[in-house]
Structure 1
Amino acid sequence: MRGVTGSGWLEVGAAIAAAPYPVQTIPPDPRRAEMCLATLGVTTRSWLGAVIANTGGLLVDYRWLRVLGSGGDGLPDVLVEAGRHGLVVGYDVLGGQFAWLPAEPGKQPTIHYFGPDDLNWLDLEQGYADWLYAVLSGSLTGFYNYLRWPGWESEVLRLRLDQGIHTSPPPSSREGRDLSAVSRTPIPMAELVSLHHEMARQKSPRQ
């Protein structure tokens, strides 16, 4: 299992250096990093602790994915969403969320993805370190194959880190599946995430 022994940051740094797409690191906020580590009870030997202690966050694949650390440059720290949806560890530019959630009783937490295209939580069946290693090894290309459009890289790079892209019609609708043909507008990421969860509640009132 990754991130249990040795230096977590040496392992993460090596994966960043070998990534097939650009990965940018935001400088850490030492005070917030210390608070996050203490609150979560993790050490810098783990990949999660290493990311928190050594970065404000990771901007992966032309900033399409923002992996949360100790926060900075408009990116929140990893504790901002701790609660109902577990520990949110990353956002994609469309308002999708990656959260570290408890699985079945007695099992280790795994990363789950809330997608803007189906408005459901999907268990990726990976721990944090294995998920991040896959992300840094190139998994985003296949994972988002149907949620990208020609020229998305330059469009995403123009956004602030507290912004995402709102599409109309939304990707959860039949009309919004082709993201090259929809209206795309930058809006605050918090607002975008809230909109997706509200649509999920309307779709399934028991959620």
Structure 2
Amino acid sequence: MRSLAELITDDRSAWAEIEAAVSGSPCAVEILPTDPVRAASCLQKLQVTTNSWLGSLVYLSGGLVVDEGWLRVLGSGSPEHRLPDIHTVNAGFEGAGLVVAQDIMGGEFVWRQGDTAQSPGPSGQSGQPTIHYFAPDTLGWEDVGLGYTDWLYAMLGGALDQFYRSWRWPGWQDEVADCPLDAGLHILPPLFTKEGKEIADSSRQPVPMTQLVSTLHDVADQLGT
């Protein structure tokens, strides 16, 4: 295991690139503060250097809150904002790979290689892990085809709105902003049913994110998706 000193590369930190992507984003993006002790612990456990976007984000932020909290990009956590750290979220994840973000519908972005678990590696290289999305409307996995850096850069650059356009409803901003960061929206009828496709007409209630994610994965397992 590499030491913390080996993981912190101040002269090659990717943080300036992340800040530039955040400041240039058409979406509202909040960088959550973090506790230095917790950040150091998370980075050492992750074993990724700060010259990567993932390592830099985990070490220097509690996470990113994008589009009023529609997307929560995991970092070293922010208890005061009720966003768990990346390791707490992954402690309850039984699939292969590393959960790096969750959305308000219970969808999860996971950094993984195909159908087998792999250690995180640099993005943009052939054969390296890519971001896979667990979709609440299909209960299946979709390979986004991008590494962590390219995926996050795209989402911050405006791809998020296109990705979720069919799920937006009138007034969603206020409703999403009112939902705590450790919760998601339970939709009835569910998104994966025919009746649930019209989300504006559906019931939407905040529930703990762990409960929402667990329920969606349990249904996916039962349906064999």
Q: Please report the TM-score for the alignment, with normalisation by the length of structure 1.
A: 0.92
Q: Which of 137, 159, 164 lines up with 2:157 in the alignment?
A: 137
Q: Which of 9, 25, 40 lines up with 2:15 in the alignment?
A: 9
CA deviations 1:21-46 (Å, max 9, x no partner) are: 10001101222221221122111111
CA deviations 1:81-137 (Å, max 9, x no partner) are: 155332101110010000111237882111110010000111111111001000110
Q: What percent identity do the matched residue pairs reach?
A: 49
Q: Which of 51, 67, 72 lines up with 1:45 in the alignment?
A: 51
- The answer (yes or no) to whether the contact 2:105–2:185 under 8 Å persists in 1 is yes
- Aligned twin of 2:210: 190
1:74 aligned partner, one-letter code: R
Q: State the secondary structure of the residue aligned to 1:150.
A: coil
Q: Is the counterpart of residue 98 in structure 1 residue 109 in structure 2?
A: yes
Q: Write the distance in 2 (CA, Å) between the matches of 1:77 and 1:104.
A: 24
1:79 aligned partner, one-letter code: H
**What value does the CA root-mean-square deviation take over the aligned residues?**
1.7
Q: Write the distance in 2 (CA, Å) between the matches of 1:125 and 1:67.
A: 18
Quick check: which one's helix share is greater? Answer: 2
Q: State the secondary structure of the residue aligned to 1:184.
A: strand
Q: Write the distance in 1 (CA, Å) between the matches of 2:160 and 2:176.
A: 15
Q: Write the distance in 1 (CA, Å) between the matches of 2:218 and 2:26.
A: 35
Q: Please report the TM-score for the alignment, with normalisation by the length of structure 2.
A: 0.85
- Aligned twin of 2:193: 173
Q: Write the distance in 1 (CA, Å) between the matches of 2:42 and 2:165.
A: 33
Q: Write the distance in 1 (CA, Å) between the matches of 2:209 and 2:62.
A: 17
CA deviations 1:144-167 (Å, max 9, x no partner) are: 111111110000001111111001
Mean CA deviation greater in 148-157 or 32-41: 32-41
Q: Which of 80, 88, 94 lines up with 1:84 in the alignment?
A: 94
Name structure 1 gaps, 5 residues minimum: none
Q: State the secondary structure of the residue aligned to 1:79.
A: helix
- Aligned twin of 1:19: 25
Name structure 2 gaps, 5 residues minimum: 1-10, 117-125
CA deviations 1:177-202 (Å, max 9, x no partner) are: 11001111111111000110011011
- Aligned twin of 2:122: none
- Aligned twin of 1:112: 132
Q: Which of 40, 48, 54 lines up with 2:60 in the alignment?
A: 54
Q: Write the distance in 2 (CA, Å) between the matches of 1:130 and 1:197.
A: 26
